[in-house]
A and B are shown apart, each in its own frame.
Chain A
Amino acid sequence: MTTLSGSLLLTFRELWAMRLTQAMLVIASLAWLLLSFALNMDVVEGSMAAVRIFGFDTTPTDGVFNEESGEWVSQALSLDKFLIGINTFVFGAAYFLGTLLGLFATMPLINGFLEHGRIDLLLSKPLSRARLLVGHLTGVWLTVLVLSAYLVGGVWLSLSLKTGIWMPQFLMAIPFITVMFGVMYSVILTISIISRSSGLGLVVTYGLIFLSIILASHDQIVPVLSEGNAAIFMTFYHVLPNFIEVVGVQAQLVEGQVVTTWYPFISSLLFGSVTYGIGFFWFSRRDF
């Protein structure tokens, strides 16, 4: 247990030493401080009558004239929709920006971990290679979990306290961000172990995220492809991580809808598991 604590501590210290991790923490703090203190909402009968940021009105409360009924109808926003909107925005920002920046930030971490003179020393300690890698991964995952919990949890708590409406499904964003970061991290880590180039790992990982944008449009693209090309396209769709489509799963959860398909999430998880398996195998077999 002491060896694992050493491995974890080393990863935490390394991540903390990176300015980007500290910057993410500051941005998360600013996000929920903004919502806590700068955002004022006038709630009338469950609807948003007005929203003010730093004291300035941001929504009209006069309403619009309905010609059929001949009455002025309030244009106040549904409180539920407002909360869903804010949370979706926070989730989206954390999911895309957080993952892209987070992966970029881990490049020096992996470089440091696999660097000659550092990895030799780590491997000479009385812990197996698998345990060493588990310690490293646990440190990275826990850091992402804490950062996303701090941001999403903080925003959720702040809004819930302000509105009195508690929607715990928003918190599902925390495991989604953490797990999908973990899936994409499997790529950068495994390629770095095999090629000893975290730069290459990062390029491939970003490439897969970009590819997932195209794969997410499979319903529109496949019908216009020939049979052979469609088969190749769908093979990619099933094999590679569906980073973009997972956003839809999360959106359905947040809006309280029934999730139509968990497939993008499950296939991404399988991809991550297989990639980690390859990474562990290479790490246990290669010379340093």
Chain B
Amino acid sequence: MHPDEGIYVASDISSPVIHISALHKTYATGIRRSKIHALKGVDMQVPAGEVLGILGPNGAGKTTLLKVLLGIVLPTSGEARLFGQPAGDPTARRRLGYLPENHRFPTYLTARQTLDIYGRLADLPDAARKERIPRLLEEVGLASWEDTRVGKFSKGMMQRLGLAQALLNQPEIVVLDEPTDGVDPVGRRDIRDRLRALKQTGTTIVINSHLLSEIELVCDRVLIMHKGRIIRSGTVDELAQQGTGWRIEVDRLPVSFDSTMWPVSLEESRRAILVEDGLPATLNRLIDQLRADGVQILGIERHRASLEAGFIDLITAQEDMP
């Protein structure tokens, strides 16, 4: 954390493809032009080839951050650069693919026509479009739907088409806003596989998702945003590690056992105790106490909190802060 502003400063990276520095965004809304501070001094760097997940509750500023990066929203102050060029510069977007949240394609176009038009907009020559469109439709599982109007597509099919659109120009950076929204489990797995394959090619991927399990499975690094600030950054393991502890399974717990005296929580059945601080000393003291009370210990295992649990703890702690 930055000592003064509470801003997370990422570690130095030699050649970031995304560089964001002291970024602020304030929206003025309504007749009275009341101000909403969507971003409050965000600093972030993403090296080439990294898969970065952005997490945060609704209104955290995730989508605004991505939109500033793409030049869709203009920053109030600060700097956002793609490949060393200002984020609003169209030439920087030539090497970028984007799948917006709740994207809308014209409903009267077929899947193939949609990709053709968006391919043109991405400045792809005829030959490249002819070669890539059928291949991408095949890869996202829409080959047999290529001449079907987009208006007849389900939400999941729209997401697949959106992904194909984002990959048309073989981008070096792919920005995905809720890529698996509305997609069934098989489709989600397909998208994950596609993202892993992209990662193998050295593509930088930035994902904004509410599905923490998706982030956990795909991302190298995760940023957690809250109220316009990046409050934590690290690998999935690092963030989940903060919730690591022990789980002790017992035959029964005496009524006299007072869980408030220990850094523990009890499962509803009162047949297992979760030791939250993860310190061996705490574990050993607790075992001694339980044995002294005549409790039979049936098993002890390392308890690793999920990213989701870590995320919820972090956000709850932030909400509780004055």
Taking Cβ atoms with an 8 Å cutoff, the residues of A that contact B are 2-3, 5-7, 9-10, 13-14, 17, 112, 115-128, 131, 285, 287-288
Contacts and interface: CB of A to CB of B under 8 A. Distances in A.
Contacts of B74: 285, 287
B247 interface: no
B117 A17 contact: no
Contacts of B96: 124
Contact of A10 (B70, B101, B117): B117
Contacts of A3: 120-123
B106 A14 contact: yes
Given A6-B121, A287-B74, A124 B109 contact: no
Interface stretch (B86-94, B131-139, B287-295): B86-94
B62 to A, nearest CB: 14
Given A120-B103, A128-B90, A2 B124 contact: yes
Given A288-B72, A288-B73, A6 B119 contact: yes
A216 B124 CA distance: 50
Question: What is the size category of the interface that chain B forms with chain A?
Answer: 20 to 34
A13 B117 contact: yes
B120 A13 contact: no
A243 B122 CA distance: 39
B243 interface: no
B104 A9 contact: no
A123 to B, nearest CB: 5
B83 interface: no
B113 interface: yes
Contact of B113 (A5, A13, A125, A287): A13
Given A117-B101, A117-B103, A120-B70, 14 more contacts: A3-B123, A7-B121, A116-B104, A118-B103, A119-B72, A123-B72, A124-B70, A124-B71, A125-B93, A125-B122, A127-B123, A131-B90, A287-B72, A288-B73
Interface of B: 27, 67, 70-74, 90-91, 93-94, 96, 98, 100-106, 108-109, 113, 117-125, 165, 175
A121 B94 contact: no
A208 B67 CA distance: 36
A9 B106 contact: no
Contacts of B94: 126
Nearest to B70: A124
Contacts of A112: 106
B242 to A, nearest CB: 34
Nearest to B75: A287
Contacts of A115: 104
B101 A17 contact: no
A126 B71 CA distance: 10
A9 B120 CA distance: 9
